[in-house]
Amino acid sequence: MSDERDARTAGTSEGAFEVAGSVVAGTSGGSGSGRAGEPGGNPGREPGRGSLPGRVLVLNSGSSSLKYRLLSGAERLASGTVERIGEPGSPVPDQRAALEAVAARLAADGLGLDSPELTAIGHRVVHGGTAFTRPTLITDEVVRGIEELVPLAPLHNPANLAGIEVARRLRPDLPQVAVFDTAFHATIPPAASTYAIDREVAARLGVRRYGFHGTSHAYVSREAALLAGGPEANVIVLHLGNGASASAVSAGRCVDTSMGMTPLEGLVMGTRSGDLDPAVVLHLARAGGMSLDEVDTLLNRRSGMLGLSGDNDMRTVTERLAEGDPEAELAVSVYCHRLRKYVGAYYAVLGTVDVIAFTGGVGENSALIRERALAGLGALGVTVDPARNARGDTLVSADGGAVKVAVIPTDEEFEIARQTLSVVSRTNRG
């Protein structure tokens, strides 16, 4: 459920219905084989990913939207989005109304929220800090802990908490689990998670590398390791969408990641700058007279591909590139240079690499970005086969290359459901 994804409909019984003028778009039933992030995107079972031992509702509560997916076994039973929550003129005033709309949609399809077959509800929570390093059964104490982390994720954690509060009120009898974006990166060693600033200041304000997109990196790195023959593989994951991040994973444990204390650090993104000399912020304030809020808006909402080219959609930028647009050329060059630099850095961190896995809307669908990001890395055993890459095969690396290059559709909702049921199972065993 990263920021570039939406509900996909191909291959399903699809529908969209209005809740007093606000749209809840949903799908139910079916199975499909398309990739997430492209038309026809993966509504049903993913080959090789296993099956869930129960029915789980996954909720991703945003500030003005609620995304949901209902999964059972290896099938997606329903999914969709409630939008414009709490916006002027919207008849969906809050998360409670949104979740009630979802419940009504599910009930209309015979999949009601009150169904005895529903095993648990899994909630995506963006920031777990150092307090929550694994999926956690939600209690009043856990809710208070998430509230204490709001200063680290002021836009996301309050919305996540609103969804949790409403779901607990509607189904107080059902186990509900918080799955944290940051948790997969909790295994990063201190050498990689520590910023070189005054230790007392860092400790007091929680300044360190946390990392994000954790559910995607967990799912994709595990699938990539299967391609290399087992869980001991070393994997570099490139999650490329409107938000983008890289991770270095050794034997299933994350040892480094590109996003830092916030999702602003690291790769070039749709509207975020990624890595930047910290003194640029001082220069913008001193020489440019910009306030902190103005700098925040510039770096998070007006930078990245949008700042470089005027467009944040990679499809539009690459179309302009094909037409010879110099701004698009520069934007793609900067984007791919940053990717290549991180691949090289994580190769050094891991020592050896078995698989480089592309995922997310851009990673799964842009052959051009995959090709240019890995160009010139033949000496490291990284080569891309042009024909396989153009087709978007699962393996796009050339025969004989030491490093497999893979295209692996992410499935964060499945990962949240898997982790949710794992917690419920452990709790039941007692």
Catalytic residues: 181
The residues, any chain, with a CB within 8 Å of residue 127's CB and separated by 6 or more, are: 149, 152, 153, 156, 157, 180, 181, 182, 210
With the CA atoms of 114, 115, 116 and 119 taken in that order, what torsion angle do they form, in degrees rounded to the nearest 10? -90
Distance CA 192, CA 392 (A): 33
Residue 422 DSSP class:
H
Tell me the three state secondary structure of residue 170: helix
Q: Is 15 exposed, middle or buried (0-12, 13-18, 19+ CB in 10 A)?
A: middle
Q: Is 6 exposed, middle or buried (0-12, 13-18, 19+ CB in 10 A)?
A: middle
Residue 177 DSSP class:
E
Judge whether 4 and 270 are in contact, CB under 8 Å: yes
Q: Put residue 194 in one of left, alpha, beta given phi > 0 → left and psi -120 to 50 → alpha.
A: beta
Judge whether 265 and 278 are in contact, CB under 8 Å: no
Distance CA 333, CA 314 (A): 12
Helix (H), strand (E) at residue 247: strand 244-250
Distance CA 416, CA 134 (A): 11
Judge whether 140 and 87 are in contact, CB under 8 Å: no
Of 110, 164, 101, 107, the closest CA to residue 132 belongs to 164
Of 420, 413, 421, the closest CA to residue 46 belongs to 413
Judge whether 273 and 392 are in contact, CB under 8 Å: no
CA dist list (Å): 304 to 175, 267, 300, 310 = 40, 9, 8, 9
Reading across the β-sheet that carries 55-61, which strands appear in turn?
A: 13-19, 22-28, 75-83, 65-72, 55-61, 118-125, 176-180, 136-137
Judge whether 218 and 184 are in contact, CB under 8 Å: yes
